Homo-oligomer: A and B are copies of this chain.
């Protein structure tokens, strides 16, 4: 395969939208999630986010990144206001609707209504879940970090409830995301389903890896 190298100067000189697409593609595949929030008046917001990362399991913490200036601004404002949000995994059956939430709707427009997804409320939890999603969690804001390098904000939440398809849970706790058709994102706008290569055993020095896949099991 023919290789190409870009220096810092090459990157700086790229046409702006070309650079955005290329740099966005560099990290590899990203998770596809909808963040559900509302403000204190109950105006709902739903925003697709590809930056959700797992930070720890005990306590169960997830973080994601928002830029104050972009279409996820309402998400940031709502979470700082109500301290609650939901993370809802995007499946192949509604990835176009999920993508459409990235349009800049005015604050009084609910993206649920605009794109045709169904909000669902849990008793005594103020943020809306996406009924259409087979893997959703409710979180309470734990930490708000300002990233100085480019004025972005990272919000960290602790999981207080999980709602999911029982069929996805394997006996050891691993979730078979393929069984519920979750998608992954590359770059700004590409959506993919996946095919498992293997599950591998816990790695130890001087020990060979073992496949955890048995016939018919993920």
Contacts and interface: CB of A to CB of B under 8 A. Distances in A.
Contacts of A169: 4, 22
Contact of A201 (B21, B24, B189): B189
A107 interface: no
This chain: how many copies in the complex?
2
A113 to B, nearest CB: 12
> Which 4 residue pairs of A and B lie closest in terms of their CB atoms, listed nearest first?
A28-B31, A21-B173, A25-B175, A18-B173
29 contacts: A3-B163, A3-B164, A3-B166, A6-B161, A7-B160, A11-B162, A20-B58, A21-B173, A23-B57, A23-B159, A24-B54, A27-B54, A27-B87, A28-B52, A29-B194, A50-B54, A51-B54, A55-B149, A56-B149, A56-B150, A102-B203, A103-B203, A145-B147, A147-B156, A189-B200, A189-B202, A191-B197, A193-B194, A193-B197
